[in-house]
Structure 1
Amino acid sequence: FALLINYVVCQLFFFCNTESLLIKEGEPVTLKCSYDSTSSLVLLYWYRQHPNRALQFILYKAAPSSSAEHIPDSRFTSTTTSSSTELRVRELRLADTALYYCALQVGAQWQNNTINITCRPTL
């Protein structure tokens, strides 16, 4: 079986388009989002949305000055730096077919108009 992984590519936060990636069931996939921020505390979130369903929280991880994280499902891992976040899904399942989003929170305030995010999948 093959899974269709959709991911969102955003530039200047306001311009987004969706791209697709076809991957075999049981294989891993890594989705990467790059960002620009001068904040010393950035919280990076990953969500997914199945067709006709609400957003589903996957994880969050802080960067670069904090090790805070919350990752409920052990099939998901995340690596963060001061300029990027990666979501790695091991052993893809058919139920992983969804649209994936990364989101960024700077400090205690959302900074929607100052973030440049680009997402790219890597196998």
Structure 2
Amino acid sequence: MSSNRRGLLSLLLFVLWIKGGTDGSDVSQTSMLWTKKGQDATMNCSHTKGAQYFQMYWYRQLPGRTMEQIVCTTPSNKKNDYDFGAFSKEKFSASKTEPERGTFTVKKVEPGDQGLYFCSVAEHSDTNP
């Protein structure tokens, strides 16, 4: 096999399947994203539910695994100090500067990152009596 052909075969492409609001939930996002190994993959999410729905959650489901929440974002986090739980800020980042929009990035994509990624939004609720 020629080195040129081998180089083409060694170039790996990964797809991050992204689930948007297909049930009339007024939430939309990037439908499918292809990227090369080692590159960042950024997904956008937006909604038309109103500014009171300012909490945005990003999830993933890897093949054969259960769904996991990666991060919760709000526009009030000025330094992007979001709740990543058990997930690494070196691997994932999120940005949310306004209530109706946000982005999520998988940094330096690897084969193990391939899966379904999606966002959801929630209305802030005050639990004070």
Please confirm whether the aligned pair reaches a TM-score higher than 0.5, indicating the same fold.
yes
Q: Secondary structure at the match of 1:86?
A: strand
Pairing 1:73–2:88 present: yes
Note the alpha carbon deviations across 1:60-118, whole angstroms, 9 max, x for none: 1112xx22721231221111122201001110011110000101111129xxxxxxxxx
Determine if the alignment matches structure 1 residue 95 to structure 2 residue 108: no
Structure 2 equivalent of residue 7 of structure 1: 18
Q: Taking structure 2 as the reference length, what is the TM-score of the superposition? A: 0.70
More strand by share: 1
Residue 21 of structure 2 aligns to a residue whose secondary structure is strand
**CA 1:8–1:22: 2 relative to 1, 3 Å:** same
TM-align CA RMSD: 2.5
CA contact (8 A) 1:58 1:73 kept: no
Distance 2:46 2:15 in 1: 22
User: Which 4+ residue blocks in structure 1 deviate beyond 2 angstroms?
Assistant: 18-22
Task: Provide the identity percentage.
Answer: 21
Larger mean CA deviation between 18-27 and 96-105 belongs to 18-27
Q: 1:120 matched to which residue of 2?
A: none
Is the 8 Å Cα contact of residues 27 and 47 (structure 2) preserved in structure 1? no
Structure 2, unaligned stretches of length 5 or more?
Answer: 1-11
Match for residue 52 of structure 1? Answer: 64
Residue segments in structure 1 that go unaligned for 5+ positions in a row: 110-123
Aligned residues: 105
Which has the higher relative contact order, 1 or 2, with Cα contacts under 8 A spaced 6 or more apart? Answer: 1
Q: TM-score, normalised by structure 1?
A: 0.73
* Cα separation, 2, equivalents of 1:104 and 1:79: 14
**Bigger Rg, structure 1 or 2:** 2
